[in-house]
């Protein structure tokens, strides 16, 4: 009897796991396909009705808000603790990142911490090395790192990877209301578009450009960090993975494309280390620090920068100033 119950429990747990994976795959399919369809609809709409300054403005504003939610919030704050801030800023960044529809904050953070723990290894959830050898293997690897990994993803152990966020009741609530924040990411540009244009056509246009097109481009700009920035670009610093710096990705993803810099100095709030490396995300953090809303901003010191470049023993250097 006890053996039978044990087998039954195992089968039940496996069924629940399979059900959760199937649900995640359906959500991933919607995340990939729906913004693409919405972008096609926006182009058709533009062909018929044109595009207004309000549409462009809503697209740019929503693109900036949701991208910074991912880069400053999900990545540099929640994943790497590269700076500290109060609960209000934490919640606002958590909501903004959630509106990008790349997964709830705990899911995103756990997945990214696992990426750093196993970067470009077999346990990395989205390494472009997974495709095999040759040109076709390289293409498959890029496809896996960019999109396909979401359809065969094994859920991370949250207790292992995000115990700090599990203990934070407020951030856990932001995580729970994930689909509400996605809905707001569509509702806000639709309402503003209708209000500013005084028309239902303006509401639809705002929804298309500030919602669907914005989400489609934010997705592919940030997903390119997983694919392109582990395949193409420069490697000024010694790291144990294939991370690269890529200018185009850095511009589109607000500094995240200086990815080799980031993997060399993972807790640094600044990814654009050289003066000419534009890093919009760090500029935001810098302004918030000057306003007194952010503190304990981590930056790599001069000793560590030199050590990483010259292959010296970096243990002689402290990791942050």
Rounded to two decimals, the pTM is 0.91
Q: Which two tokens stand for residue 194?
A: 């209708």
Find the mean pLDDT for residues 158-178. 97
Would the pLDDT of 13 be above 50?
Answer: no
Whose tokens are 């304990």? That residue is 296
| Token pair listed for 28 | 């991933």
The answer to whether 297 and 269 are in contact (CB under 8 A) is yes
pLDDT above 90 as % of the chain: 80
Mean predicted lDDT score pLDDT of the chain: 91
Packed helices 2-49 and 214-227: angle between N→C axes, nearest 10 degrees: 120
The answer to whether residue 36 scores a pLDDT higher than 70 is: yes
Q: Catalogue the E-assigned strands of the chain.
A: 84-85, 294-295
What pLDDT, on the 0 to 100 scale, is given for residue 193? 98
CA 213/CA 40 separation, integer angstroms? 9
User: Helix 134-146 vs helix 214-227: angle between axes, to the nearest 10 degrees?
Assistant: 130
What would the two tokens of residue 278 be? Answer: 């534009």
Distance between CA atoms of residues 113 and 81, nearest Å: 11
Percent share of the chain, pLDDT over 70: 88
Bridge partners for 85 per DSSP: 294
Nearest one of 198, 3, 215, 212 to 96, comparing CA atoms: 215
Taking only the tens place, the pLDDT of each residue in 75-98 is 999 999 999 999 999 999 999 999
| Of 318 and 102, the one with more pLDDT | 102
pLDDT over 90 at 301, yes or no: no
Q: What is the pLDDT of residues 186-198, one digit of tens each?
A: 999 999 999 999 9
Does the structure show a pLDDT above 80 at 167?
A: yes
CA distance 30 to 218: 15
Q: How confident is the model at residue 55 (pLDDT cuts 50, 70, 90)?
A: very high
DSSP classification of residue 234:
B
- The band of 23, judged by pLDDT with boundaries at 50, 70 and 90, is confident
For residue 304, the SS3 value is helix
Q: What pLDDT is attached to residue 19? A: 64
Q: Quick check: 77 and 95 in contact, CB under 8 A?
A: no
Q: Is the pLDDT of residue 206 over 70?
A: yes
Measured in degrees and rounded to the nearest 5, phi and psi for residue 273 equal -75, -45
């Amino acid at each position: 009897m006890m053996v039978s119950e044990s087998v039954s429990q195992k089968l039940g747990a496996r069924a629940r796991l399979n059900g959760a994976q199937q649900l995640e795959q359906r959500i991933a399919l919607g995340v990939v396909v729906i913004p693409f369809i919405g972008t096609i609809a926006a182009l058709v709409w533009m062909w018929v009705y044109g595009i207004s300054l309000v549409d462009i403005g809503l697209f740019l504003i929503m693109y900036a808000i949701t991208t910074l939610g991912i880069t400053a919030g999900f990545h540099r704050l929640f994943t790497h603790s590269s700076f500290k801030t109060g609960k209000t800023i934490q919640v606002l960044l958590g909501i903004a990142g959630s509106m990008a529809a790349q997964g709830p904050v705990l899911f995103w953070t756990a997945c990214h911490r696992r990426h750093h723990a196993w970067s470009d290894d077999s346990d990395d959830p989205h390494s472009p090395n997974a495709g095999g050898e040759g040109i076709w293997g390289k293409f498959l690897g890029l496809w896996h790192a960019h999109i396909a990994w979401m359809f065969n993803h094994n859920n991370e152990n949250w207790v292992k990877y995000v115990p700090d966020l599990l203990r934070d009741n407020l951030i856990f609530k932001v995580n729970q209301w994930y689909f509400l924040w996605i809905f707001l990411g569509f509702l806000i540009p639709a309402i503003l578009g209708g209000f500013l244009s005084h028309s239902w056509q303006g509401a639809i246009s705002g929804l298309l450009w500030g919602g669907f097109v914005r989400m489609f481009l934010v997705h592919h700009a940030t997903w390119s960090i997983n694919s392109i920035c582990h395949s193409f670009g420069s490697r000024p610093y010694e790291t144990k993975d294939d991370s690269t710096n890529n200018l185009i990705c850095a511009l589109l993803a607000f500094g995240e494309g200086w990815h080799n810099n980031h993997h060399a100095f993972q807790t640094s709030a600044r990814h654009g280390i050289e003066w000419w490396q534009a890093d919009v995300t760090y500029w935001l953090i810098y302004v918030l620090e000057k306003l007194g809303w952010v503190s304990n901003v981590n930056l790599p010191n001069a000793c560590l920068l030199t050590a990483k470049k010259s292959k010296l023993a970096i243990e002689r250097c402290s990791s942050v100033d």
